[in-house]
Amino acid sequence: MKKLIPVLSLLMLLSIQGFSQIEKGTLLVGGSGSFDWEFKESDNPILILLNPNLGYFATNNFALGASVGFQYFSYGESSSVGVSLAPFVRYYTNITANNESLKFFIHGQSGMFWPDMKNSPDDNGYFLNAGPGLAVFLNNNAALEFGLNYYYSDYLDKDYDANKALMFNVGFQTYINRNNK
C-alpha cells in the first residue's frame, strides 16, 4: 500500500499536467515587439524589432514556425530599415500544476535580414534571438507574452561591428484549434 500512494500521486500530477498542455495540431498566430537603446557618449545605437509569426505545434507543447520581421537600426550617422525571415522553435511548460493561465516557454530563432542602409552600402546579415518567456493566458486561446532574449546580429560584410543586446519582448499570441477542455 505504501508503494501505491506515490505511484497514484505521480499519475494524478501527470494527468493535471496533460490537462493544460497545448495540443499537437494547434496553430500559433501572433507576434512580438522589442526595443533596445544603448546610452553611449556617441552614436547611441537604437534597435526596434516587430515580428509577426505563424507556428504549428508538431507535438504537445512544442511549436515550430516562421517569423517575418521588420526592423529599424540606427547607429551614429547610419540607419537602416529592413526585413528578416527566420524559422523558430518554442517549448512551453506549466509553472505549477494548479495554474493553467501561466506558462513558461523557451524561444529560439535564427535567420537572415535584408536592410536598406542609408549612408552605408547595402549588406545582408544574420541574427540569433533566444531566451525564456512567460505566457499569460487571457483565455484558452489567447495569451500576452513577456520575454527576455539575447539578440545577436552581424552583417555578412565584416567591416561592421556585430550588434549584441539583451532585449525585453512583449507579444500577443492566439492558439487556433486548441482543444477547449
The answer to whether residue 107 scores a pLDDT higher than 80 is yes
Determine the pLDDT at residue 109: 96
The torsion of the CA quartet 137, 171, 26, 133, rounded to 10 degrees, works out to -70
Determine the pLDDT at residue 112: 94
Q: Which has the closest alpha carbon to 115: 40, 37, 47, 66?
A: 47
121-128 average pLDDT score? 79
Instruction: Report which secondary-structure segment, H or E, holds 5.
Output: helix 4-19
What is the rounded CA–CA span in Å between residue 59 and residue 64? Answer: 9
The answer to whether residue 14 scores a pLDDT higher than 50 is no
Domain 4-176 CATH assignment equals 2.40.160.20:
yes
Q: Is residue 17 very low, low, confident or very high in pLDDT (cuts 50, 70, 90)?
A: very low
Query: Maximum Cα–Cα distance for the chain, whole Å?
Result: 77
**Beta-carbon contacts of residue 129 (< 8 Å; ≥ 6 apart):** 86, 107, 108, 109, 110, 149, 150, 151, 152, 167
Determine the pLDDT at residue 15: 38
What is the rounded CA–CA span in Å between residue 86 and residue 126? Answer: 9
What is the rounded CA–CA span in Å between residue 158 and residue 136? Answer: 40
**Beta-carbon contacts of residue 136 (< 8 Å; ≥ 6 apart):** 101, 102, 143, 144, 145, 146
The 8-class DSSP code of residue 161 comes to P
The answer to whether residue 85 scores a pLDDT higher than 80 is yes
Cα–Cα distances in angstroms (integers) from residue 59 to residues 21, 24, 64, 89, in the given order = 10, 4, 9, 12
164-180 average pLDDT score? 88
pLDDT in tens, 63-76: 999 999 998 878 77
The answer to whether residue 82 scores a pLDDT higher than 60 is yes
pLDDT exceeding 70 applies to what percent of the chain?
A: 80
pLDDT in tens, 126-169: 999 999 999 999 998 999 999 999 989 887 876 777 778 888 99
Q: Yes or no: say if 178 and 137 are a contact pair by the CB < 8 Å rule.
A: no
